[in-house]
Amino acid sequence: GQNIDQPTEMTATEGAIVQINCTYQTSGFNGLFWYQQHAGEAPTFLSYNVLDGLEEKGRFSSFLSRSKGYSYLLLKELQMKDSASYLCAVTDSNYQLIWGAGTKLIIKP
């Protein structure tokens, strides 16, 4: 079966750095997305990785290792508004997006 694993919940302090991990086992791989979802709102796109390595975009970076079936999202200089769920999603060989359950990130002052 297809599976995306992420921690259910993480807590971090305002101004700090946090790394949210995602491991996947899917039938094929055609890219990995990270989305942010605030409670009661729609997911919004953060990043897309299809090749191994680190993609940096402001305070957010995303890393991919296809051989390990592993990605992480790194958030720097955390702000209270970063409190949200972070969803990892993988495109499989049928070009269908398989979503993880999301990691709820709680930021404390």
Partner 1 sequence: GAGVSQSPRYKVAKRGQDVALRCDPISGHVSLFWYQQALGQGPEFLTYFQNEAQLDKSGLPSDRFFAERPEGSVSTLKIQRTQQEDSAVYLCASSPVGDQSSYEQYFGPGTRLTVT
Q: Interface with partner 1 by CB under 8 A: which residues?
A: 4, 30-31, 33, 41-45, 48, 50, 87, 89, 91, 94-102
Give me the least distance between CB of 15 and partner 1, in Å please.
Answer: 28
Toward partner 1, which CB reaches closer, 47 or 69? 47
- How far is it, in rounded angstroms, from Cα 22 to Cα 73? 8
Nearer to partner 1, 34 or 72 (CB): 34
Q: How far is the CB of 49 from partner 1 (least distance, A)?
A: 11
CB 78 to partner 1: min, Å: 22
* Interacting residues of 11 by C-beta distance below 8 A, sequence separation 6+: 105, 106, 107, 108
Contacts of 25 (CB under 8 A, 6+ apart): 1, 2, 3, 69
> Nearest Cα to 47, choosing from 55, 38, 37, 39?
55
Q: Residue 93 and residue 99: Cα distance in Å, rounded? A: 14
Nearer to partner 1, 14 or 52 (CB): 52
Tokens of 81: 């508004």
Give me the least distance between CB of 14 and partner 1, in Å please.
24
Complex with partner 1: residue 13 or 93, whichever CB lies closer: 93
